[in-house]
């Protein structure tokens, strides 16, 4: 009669698991074997008629556990959605030069905090600052790990326990539940709301500034619009009123465009250069949105304010690491060399004309032998240019079950992320970086699906 004592011992299984030990190491293999044995005992207790697994079955199940435990969950995917800055898919893909710069400092020791000329300790805050000064004309700059921490650091360093004036129309929430009012509260700043949701006047700022105030903050609505019965003063007007009251102005731009998006068919997105030209004292923006680089938060503006920010204790907690600093510098150099449109993937995608996209979609149809090329829309995404889209062409596939087909695409290697419309699967060439790889994957999925 079969009983639990018939299960092979752990020692016996380990003796037969040399191939697993070589691949995964002895400690993890031992854990997988014990887990598999525990599962077998539990199954036999409730379903004795199923019998006990053989040694080969146990080792096969142990391999399954080992593979699951050691397989990465952060994987590269092919973005065929047409959403250029897809937040869920990691936002901006990086330029080759950016990737090379990040790889170089990751693989070697670096001058992260070392001054080669002086032969002594240096500051990580110096990296990318010179490029940002040359590119924007700002007096100084500092880079942290994302724009949320940039805003938190500015407020903590300059407005702790002090009044910060902001329009109610700018008390925004962005992805992940990040809310401007909550960040301001966390920094210790005292929030002073002015105006209404749809209307704020210059007189609202003037009235609020009659009391002692640390700063005026503007938060650009980069992920939504307020339309209709609205009113809001120009940034330059806000700056003039604040400076007359000897109050600094901080502009949280969010997406951080350095190029004019209007020239690519989108609405104009306020640029970093325009904020500085309006006279703001500090500008904060992201590195991985319209800048097109790795995740980072960039603060630039007046040197005296930047110096105070660099010395604040929170600056260490939110500082950027060496790979981020290398990547941001390489990305910024594309702008300095006037090659951003050619080298930075998101600007390359945005600059594609509908006709150029159509040619690629037609080439896909020719290779695959299926689908229709139809007109559609691509969007910026990533909390930038809300409701804005540009004309594109997509390959539309008619399949029995669009949802099942999308699942097959997600299960491919590498996974392909697409979208559906009118019961058809739409594949947008604008956001596909490698046509050859994409077509190879799609051929396999189509063959398996038929």
The pLDDT value recorded for residue 196 is 80
d(CA 339, CA 258): 12
**Mean pLDDT within 56-73:** 96
- What pLDDT, in 10s, does the model give residues 104-114? 999 999 999 99
Residue 221 above 90 pLDDT? no
For residue 399, cis peptide bond before it (omega within 30 degrees of 0)? no
Residue 4 above 90 pLDDT? no
- What pLDDT, in 10s, does the model give residues 292-325? 999 999 999 999 999 999 999 999 999 999 999 9
Q: Which long-range contacts (C-beta less than 8 Å, at least 24 apart) are formed by 46-52? A: 48/2, 51/2, 52/2, 52/4, 52/6, 52/7
- Asked if residues 153 and 318 have their Cβ atoms less than 8 Å apart, the reply is yes
List C-alpha distances in Å: 150 to 141, 298, 438, 449: 11, 7, 37, 48
The pLDDT value recorded for residue 256 is 85
Residue 174 above 90 pLDDT? no
- Asked if residues 65 and 33 have their Cβ atoms less than 8 Å apart, the reply is no
Backbone angles phi, psi at 401, to 5 degrees: -135, 100
Vertex 234: Cα angle to 205 and 167 (nearest 5): 40
**Mean pLDDT within 349-370:** 96
In 290-352, DSSP assigns E strands to 297-301
Residue indicated by tokens 């594309």: 334
Residue 385 above 80 pLDDT? no
Vertex 242: Cα angle to 239 and 245 (nearest 5): 150
Beta bridge mates, 295:
none
Residue 222 above 60 pLDDT? no
Determine the length of the chain. Answer: 450
d(CA 167, CA 218): 7
Tokens of residue 265, six digits: 């068919």
- Asked if residues 224 and 386 have their Cβ atoms less than 8 Å apart, the reply is yes
Of 267, 269, 254, 260, nearest in space to 220 by CA: 254
Residue 375 above 90 pLDDT? yes
Residue 347 pLDDT class (50, 70, 90 cuts): very high
Residue indicated by tokens 């609505």: 221
- What pLDDT, in 10s, does the model give residues 112-167? 999 999 999 999 998 999 999 999 999 999 999 999 899 999 999 999 999 999 99
DSSP H/E element including 425: strand 424-427
Backbone angles phi, psi at 411, to 5 degrees: -85, -5
Tokens of residue 413, six digits: 């290697």
**Mean pLDDT within 354-367:** 97
Residue 220 above 80 pLDDT? yes
Of 311, 173, 200, 193, nearest in space to 254 by CA: 173
Average pLDDT for the chain: 91
Residue 225 above 60 pLDDT? no
Q: What predicted TM-score, i.e. pTM, was given to this entire model?
A: 0.90
Does residue 148 or residue 230 have the better pLDDT?
148
- What pLDDT, in 10s, does the model give residues 267-300? 888 999 999 999 999 999 999 999 999 999 999 9
**Mean pLDDT within 50-74:** 94
The number of angstroms, rounded, from the C-alpha of 435 to the middle of its chain's C-alpha atoms is 23
Q: Helices in 160-284 by DSSP H: which ranges?
A: 180-187, 202-208, 235-244, 272-277
* Contact residues for 233 (Cβ-Cβ < 8 A; gap 6+): 200, 201, 202, 205
The pLDDT value recorded for residue 1 is 66
List C-alpha distances in Å: 207 to 193, 249, 417: 12, 16, 51
Vertex 333: Cα angle to 329 and 339 (nearest 5): 145
Of 99, 84, 116, 135, nearest in space to 330 by CA: 99
d(CA 431, CA 349): 6
Residue indicated by tokens 């190029």: 259
Residue 416 above 80 pLDDT? yes
The pLDDT value recorded for residue 381 is 82
Instruction: Write out 205-240 in H/E/C secondary structure.
Output: HHHHCCCCCCEEEEECCCCCCCCCCCECCCHHHHHH
Residue 224 above 70 pLDDT? no
- What pLDDT, in 10s, does the model give residues 182-215? 777 788 888 899 888 778 889 998 999 999 999 9
Residue 223 above 60 pLDDT? no
**Mean pLDDT within 60-74:** 96
pLDDT > 70 in the chain, percent? 94
């Amino acid at each position: 009669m079969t009983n639990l004592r018939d299960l092979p011992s752990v020692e016996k299984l380990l003796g037969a698991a040399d191939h697993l030990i070589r691949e995964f190491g002895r400690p993890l293999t031992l854990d997988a074997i014990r887990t598999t044995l525990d599962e077998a005992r539990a199954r036999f207790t409730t379903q004795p008629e199923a019998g006990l697994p053989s040694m080969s079955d146990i080792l096969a199940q142990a391999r399954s556990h080992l593979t699951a435990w050691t397989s990465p969950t952060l994987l590269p995917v092919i973005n065929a959605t047409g959403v250029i800055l897809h937040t869920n898919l990691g936002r901006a893909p990086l330029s080759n030069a950016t990737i090379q710069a990040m790889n170089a400092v990751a693989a070697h020791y670096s001058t992260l905090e070392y001054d080669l000329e002086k032969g002594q300790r240096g500051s990580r805050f110096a990296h990318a600052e010179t490029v940002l000064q040359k590119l924007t004309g700002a007096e100084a700059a500092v880079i942290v790990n994302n724009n949320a921490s940039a805003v938190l650091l500015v407020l903590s360093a300059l407005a702790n326990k002090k009044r910060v004036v902001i329009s109610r129309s700018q008390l925004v929430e962005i992805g992940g539940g990040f809310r401007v009012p909550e960040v301001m509260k966390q920094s210790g700043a005292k929030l002073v709301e002015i105006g209404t949701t749809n209307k704020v006047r210059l007189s609202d700022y003037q009235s609020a500034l009659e009391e002692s105030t640390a700063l005026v903050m503007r938060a650009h609505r980069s992920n939504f619009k307020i339309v209709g019965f609205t009113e809001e003063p120009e940034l330059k007007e806000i700056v003039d009123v604040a400076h007359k009251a000897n109050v600094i102005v901080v502009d949280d731009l969010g997406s951080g465009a350095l190029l004019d998006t209007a020239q690519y068919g989108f609405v104009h997105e306020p640029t970093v250069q325009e904020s500085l030209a309006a006279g703001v004292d500090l500008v904060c923006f992201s590195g991985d949105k319209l800048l097109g680089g790795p995740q980072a938060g960039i603060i630039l503006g007046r040197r005296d304010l930047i110096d105070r920010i660099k010395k604040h204790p929170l600056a260490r907690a939110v500082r950027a690491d060496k790979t981020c600093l290398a990547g941001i510098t390489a990305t910024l150099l594309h702008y300095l060399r006037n090659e951003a449109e050619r080298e930075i993937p998101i600007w390359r995608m945005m600059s594609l004309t509908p006709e150029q996209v159509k040619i690629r979609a037609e080439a896909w149809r020719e290779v695959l032998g299926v689908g229709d090329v139809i007109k559609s829309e691509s969007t910026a995404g990533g909390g930038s240019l809300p409701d804005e889209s540009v004309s594109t062409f997509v390959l539309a596939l008619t399949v029995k079950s669009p949802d099942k087909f999308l699942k097959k695409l997600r299960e491919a290697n590498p996974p392909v992320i697409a979208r559906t419309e009118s019961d058809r699967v739409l594949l947008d060439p604008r956001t596909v970086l490698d046509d050859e790889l994409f077509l190879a994957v799609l051929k396999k999925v189509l063959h398996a699906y038929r």
